[in-house]
Amino acid sequence: AQSVSQHNHHVILSEAASLELGCNYSYGGTVNLFWYVQYPGQHLQLLLKYFSGDPLVKGIKGFEAEFIKSKFSFNLRKPSVQWSDTAEYFCAVLLNSGYALNFGKGTSLLVTP
Amino acid sequence: DGGITQSPKYLFRKEGQNVTLSCEQNLNHDAMYWYRQDPGQGLRLIYYSQIVNDFQKGDIAEGYSVSREKKESFPLTVTSAQKNPTAFYLCASSILGDSPLHFGNGTRLTVT
């Protein structure tokens, strides 16, 4: 079955640590890739997206993600996390032939002071 | 300000009752979506609509119904046939196709 997998369900980091959240998808065709973030008590917001071109995508708040087609991956990274990055992060995939996003199960990130 | 309004924020119902969740957008987006969010499950697609008077089932449409009589409105009815209706429901919209989704603040439905 086609799916989006996020490897880590819960991540705890200290401030200033580096972050990498894994995302893999199993679709064979052309895809558009997204990372969304949900801060506590807030609605889902787009963090960054990849449609085509440079596989290294920069988003808001210092986040970036790299699309590696051969690995079907779109991992999210940030060199130095802050307490305010505590949130739930969702990877999502849109098939070129599709009309709605398919989401991973999410990764809950807790950044401790 | 443009955005998506979901109401109410919290909703309580007795088992066996149908309940309708409201979703309104003033972004002039063509496409609208309903997702259900459960802890550890991520977001699962219930229904989506690309144009007025047309909608498609998502991955977990059983026990739900929708309508799209106006571009700006996409209400979701949770029927008594939905076996596990207690959840957080998110409405979203987009221009179409591959454009990013804009989400509402969600409605938390509790059925007892």
Residues A28-38: tens digit of each pLDDT: 788 899 999 99
**Per-residue pLDDT at A99 exceeds 80:** no
Predicted local distance difference test score (pLDDT) of residue A27: 82
**Per-residue pLDDT at A6 exceeds 90:** yes
Please name the member of B41, B42, B104 whose beta carbon is closest to the beta carbon of A43: B104
Is residue A3 very low, low, confident or very high in pLDDT (cuts 50, 70, 90)?
confident
pLDDT tens per residue across span A37-53: 999 988 899 999 998 89
Token pair 């919209």 is found at B93
Kindly determine whether residue B45 and residue A99, on different chains, have CB atoms separated by under 8 Å. no
CA distance A2 to A28: 9
Predicted local distance difference test score (pLDDT) of residue A89: 97
Task: Please tell me if residue A104 touches chain B, with a CB cutoff of 8 Å.
Answer: yes
Predicted local distance difference test score (pLDDT) of residue A83: 96
Which residues does chain B have within 8 Å of residue A44's beta carbon, measured at their own beta carbons? Answer: 90, 92, 101, 103
Order of strands across the sheet with B19-25? B4-7, B19-25, B76-78, B64-66
**Per-residue pLDDT at A2 exceeds 80:** no
Task: Please tell me if residue A50 touches chain B, with a CB cutoff of 8 Å.
Answer: no
Q: Residue ranges of chain B with pLDDT lower than 70? A: 1, 97-98
Kindly determine whether residue B31 and residue A99, on different chains, have CB atoms separated by under 8 Å. yes
Please name the member of A9, A36, A43 whose beta carbon is closest to the beta carbon of B40: A9
Closest CA to A104 of A50, A56, A34: A34
Kindly determine whether residue B100 and residue A105, on different chains, have CB atoms separated by under 8 Å. no
For chain A, what is the mean pLDDT?
Answer: 92
Predicted local distance difference test score (pLDDT) of residue A97: 64
Kindly determine whether residue B103 and residue A49, on different chains, have CB atoms separated by under 8 Å. no
Q: What is the mean pLDDT of residues A12-24?
A: 97
Closest CA to A4 of B46, B96, B45: B45
**Per-residue pLDDT at A96 exceeds 70:** no
Predicted local distance difference test score (pLDDT) of residue B78: 96
Predicted local distance difference test score (pLDDT) of residue B95: 86
Closest CA to B107 of B6, B5, B33, B20: B6
Is residue A100 very low, low, confident or very high in pLDDT (cuts 50, 70, 90)?
confident
Q: Is A83 helix (H, G, I), strand (E, B) or coil?
A: helix
